[in-house]
């Protein structure tokens, strides 16, 4: 099982561009029992708030479907709060949720986080996931 936390920029990119890597990640969450989306109440609040930004022009139905995907395929956790320095405190909820749950944090803004192996770009995650699936290996186990 691969546990993941997705930064808000990944969710928004998936909603706005159905052909990009972020959309592939959301599709993989919905299609695979090998990927577990992890989120916290704070992350869900952030998703709702940003999806509703008028400048993004994401209609209410798409907002609802996107939040429904998170709640339907995700696992709600209560993260521990870390003290690691971050350039933007609003990113702490993503870092702490991933760290607490042993998940990979997928973000388009890696510079906002410390250089740690569990923090990856959407392109790297998709490439590694597709490579693991092609080999029939997910999280070190042969399927």
The pair of three-digit structure tokens given for residue 33, joined into one six-digit string:
């029992």
Dump pLDDT digits (tens) for 8-19.
Answer: 999 999 999 989
**pLDDT on residue 142:** 39
Dump pLDDT digits (tens) for 107-140.
Answer: 999 899 999 999 999 999 999 876 666 566 554 4
The structural domains of the chain, with segments of one domain joined by +, span 2-135
What values do phi and psi take at 54, rounded to 5?
A: -60, -35
- The CATH superfamily holding the domain 2-135 is 5'-nuclease (3.40.50.1010)
Residue 139's contacts (CB-CB under 8 Å, 6 or more residues apart) are 1, 2, 34, 132
Q: What is the Cα–Cα distance from 16 to 60, expressed in whole angstroms?
A: 13
């Amino acid at each position: 099982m691969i546990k993941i936390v997705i930064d808000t920029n990944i969710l928004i990119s998936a909603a706005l561009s159905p052909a990009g890597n972020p959309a592939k990640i959301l599709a993989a969450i919905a299609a695979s029992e090998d990927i577990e989306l992890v989120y916290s109440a704070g992350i869900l609040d952030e998703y709702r708030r940003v999806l509703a930004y008028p400048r993004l022009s994401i209609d209410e139905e798409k907002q609802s479907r996107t939040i429904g995907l998170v709640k339907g395929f995700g696992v709600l956790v209560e993260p521990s709060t870390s003290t690691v320095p971050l350039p933007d405190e609003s990113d702490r909820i993503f870092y702490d949720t991933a760290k607490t749950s042993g998940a990979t944090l997928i973000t388009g803004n890696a510079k906002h986080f410390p250089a740690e192996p569990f923090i990856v770009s959407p392109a790297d995650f998709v490439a590694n996931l597709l490579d693991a699936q092609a080999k029939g290996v997910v999280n070190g186990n042969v399927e």
